[in-house]
């Protein structure tokens, strides 16, 4: 299709974020000495998701998400914690968790590197994401890394993509393709920015939104067919 710049989301697109998050939650529970039989990752997952959705609706700030998700989680255990401290502990566990690549990702990036400009576009806290990415060999195949915390805007905000366009200013919008697992973040972000999108639906979820990606794939090898 003539693309020249491929933007890849990081978590749950290149690497298994679920696995890292489970390990980080265990790290948090051990830090606060919550008995292992009470550890309930799914409880946190639901609370965390609700908070991020409230943030996307503009109801709370990002700082409130990072604090209050843990305050709310520990309240279900009958415990009171400092939300900011709990967030630091959790993100430290996240940064320490070994990176688990999704199948075929690194070979795919190595194959694409000689033909396309490649970039990572990720929402997250700068220190945490940089520590996690530093565990990998991505520096050998990725031309630029954009982290929302450093950019000052978060996907799907068009401001995030304006920072990308400034770096790759020799290209037109038609030259870009974003690949990501999140309809509301990656795909909506690409639509907002006016570039083509590829929903990497490796968990084979039903699209219950009005968001329509340019392409949908459920295994990364299918990306080659799009780029041919």
Which pLDDT score, from 0 to 100, does residue 198 have?
A: 99
How many domains is the chain built from? Answer: 2
Q: Are residues 150 and 138 in the same domain?
A: yes
Q: Are residues 192 and 133 in the same domain?
A: yes
Q: Are residues 11 and 35 in the same domain?
A: no
60 conformational bin, left if phi > 0, alpha if psi -120 to 50, beta if neither: beta
In tens, the pLDDT along 188-224 reads 999 999 999 999 999 999 999 999 999 999 999 999 9
Q: Are residues 122 and 200 in the same domain?
A: yes
The proportion of the chain whose per-residue pLDDT surpasses 70, expressed as a percent, equals 100
Last residue of a domain, one of 62, 96, 130: 96
Asked about 9 being catalytic, the answer comes back as yes
Token couple for 125: 């806290």
Q: Are residues 87 and 146 in the same domain?
A: no
Q: Which of 9, 11, 175, 186 is catalytic?
A: 9
Assign residue 29 the CATH number of its domain.
1.10.150.240
Q: Are residues 105 and 188 in the same domain?
A: yes
Distances from the Cα of 10 to the Cαs of 73, 85, 108, 110, 215, in angstroms?
A: 26, 25, 14, 16, 18
34-43, 98-107, 157-166, 197-206: least confidently modelled range = 34-43
In tens, the pLDDT along 114-154 reads 999 999 999 988 999 999 999 999 999 999 999 999 999 99
**H helix or E strand, kind and range, residue 93:** helix 83-96
Last residue of a domain, one of 36, 71, 96: 96
Strand 176-180's sheet: what is its strand order? 144-147, 117-122, 5-8, 176-180, 196-200, 215-217
Q: Are residues 214 and 172 in the same domain?
A: yes
Confidence of residue 228 (pLDDT cuts 50, 70, 90): confident
Q: Are residues 107 and 201 in the same domain?
A: yes
Confidence of residue 58 (pLDDT cuts 50, 70, 90): confident
Between CA 10 and CA 8 the distance in angstroms is 6
Per-residue pLDDT for 56 more than 80?
A: no
Average pLDDT value for residue range 24-35? 94
Confidence of residue 52 (pLDDT cuts 50, 70, 90): confident
**Structural domain boundaries, residue 85:** 17-96
Q: Which value, to the nearest 10 degrees, does the dihedral of the CA atoms of residues 131, 222, 2, 166 take?
A: -20
Last residue of a domain, one of 42, 72, 96: 96
């Amino acid at each position: 299709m003539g693309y020249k710049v491929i933007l890849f989301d990081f978590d749950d697109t290149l690497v298994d974020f679920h696995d890292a998050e489970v390990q980080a939650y265990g790290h948090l529970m051990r830090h606060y000495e919550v008995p292992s039989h009470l550890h309930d990752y799914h409880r946190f997952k639901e609370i965390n998701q609700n908070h991020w959705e409230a943030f996307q609706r503009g109801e709370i700030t990002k700082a409130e998400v990072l604090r209050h998700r843990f305050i709310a989680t520990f309240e279900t255990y009958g415990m009171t914690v400092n939300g900011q401290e709990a967030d630091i502990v959790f993100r430290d566990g996240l940064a320490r968790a070994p990176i688990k690549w999704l199948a075929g990702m690194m070979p795919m990036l190595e194959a694409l590197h000689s033909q396309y400009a490649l970039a990572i576009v990720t929402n997250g806290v700068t220190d945490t994401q940089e520590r996690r990415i530093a565990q990998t060999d991505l520096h050998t195949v990725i031309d630029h890394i954009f982290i929302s915390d450093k950019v000052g805007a978060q996907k799907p905000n068009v401001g995030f993509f304006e920072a990308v366009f400034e770096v790759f200013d020799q290209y037109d919008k038609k030259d870009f393709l974003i690949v990501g697992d999140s309809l509301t973040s990656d795909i909506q972000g690409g639509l907002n920015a006016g570039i083509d999108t590829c929903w990497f639906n490796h968990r084979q979820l039903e699209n219950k939104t009005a968001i329509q990606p340019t392409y949908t794939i459920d295994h990364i090898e299918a990306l080659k067919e799009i780029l041919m």
